[in-house]
Amino acid sequence: MEIMGIDIGGSGIKGAPVDVDKGEFLAERLRIATPQPSTPAAMVEAVVELVKNFAWNGPIGCTFPAIVQHGVIRTAANVDKSWIGTDGEALFRDATGCPVRVINDADAAGVAEMTFGAGKGRNGVVILLTFGTGIGSAIFLDGHLLPNTEFGHVQLRGKDAEHRASARIKTEKNLSWKQWGGRVNEYLQYMEFLFSPDLFIIGGGVSKKFDKFAPFLNTQAEIVPAQLENDAGIVGAAMAAKALVE
């Protein structure tokens, strides 16, 4: 089954057609910088550009970096506040002329990793964390997703965890891998205290450099890098839209 996946992030919007039975791209992905300000009108234009690039006319799965309930955007931590209360599914559907399913970005990445990547075949409690502009999260119990967890906003030292340990903070504060790894470890240990996971999966673009900060991570739970790396969101978005076909 072929479905287009689009992954909307705070800094980039990426997309590609996906074979959802294999979890593989059917064409090289295209990335467009997230418009600033990231208003609904501006981001719809970027999504339409992606769809036209692939001459796509079919179901689309689309991630969004926020709480998404029945297609409606409920928060806006890393995008323009005007998104709050917007029916994202209706907006993208009207603009593209295609059926669209919208899902939280980290939930999509988690679904992809649990199906094709580092979480495949793993039971118990699994937490996927994506480190990028913010920190996205997805938690699974025996392969079943609890959506919209937003663990990047738990409080750590008096501020949202993503304001201490996201990949963006590493760049902005010019932290060494050891310094940043220490912050990530503090966050993981707090998450372990709260949820006692069996496995942490570290996702986002920084997962490609897992070996740089892995030596500074120490939890009872196993910690592994995401296998689909930064492509998990696109694959998971496409998988979320399977219901539109089935």
pLDDT band at 212 (very low <50, low <70, confident <90, very high): very high
> Would you state the pLDDT for residue 230?
78
Ordered alpha helix ranges (H), 9-150: 40-53, 88-96, 105-116
CATH code assigned at 145: 3.30.420.40
CA 115 – CA 233 distance, rounded (Å): 13
Tell me: the pLDDT tens digits for 148-169?
A: 999 999 999 999 999 999 999 9
Which domain, by its residues, includes 99?
2-107+232-245
Same-domain pairing of 51 and 82: yes
Tell me: the pLDDT tens digits for 29-78?
A: 999 999 999 999 999 999 999 999 999 999 999 999 999 999 999 999 88
- Residue 142 neighbours by CB distance under 10 Å: 9
Same-domain pairing of 97 and 145: no
- Residue 180 neighbours by CB distance under 10 Å: 24
Q: Does the structure show a pLDDT above 80 at 95? A: yes
CA distance to 61, 169, 171, 179, 197, per residue, from 138 (Å) = 17, 21, 24, 25, 12
Question: Tell me, what amino acid is at 233?
Answer: G
- DSSP 3-state of 173: coil
What's the structural domain count of the chain? 2
| Cβ-proximal residues to 114 (8 Å cutoff; 6+ apart), any chain | 120, 122, 126, 128, 140, 143, 145
115 domain residue, yes or no: no
Average pLDDT, the chain: 95
141 domain residue, yes or no: yes
Q: Does the structure show a pLDDT above 80 at 120? A: yes
Q: What percent of the chain has pLDDT over 70?
A: 100
Same-domain pairing of 92 and 126: no
Same-domain pairing of 212 and 239: no
> Would you state the pLDDT for residue 205?
86
Same-domain pairing of 141 and 211: yes
Predicted TM-score of the model (pTM) = 0.92
Same-domain pairing of 149 and 131: yes
Same-domain pairing of 239 and 162: no
DSSP class of 83: G
> Would you state the pLDDT for residue 245?
83
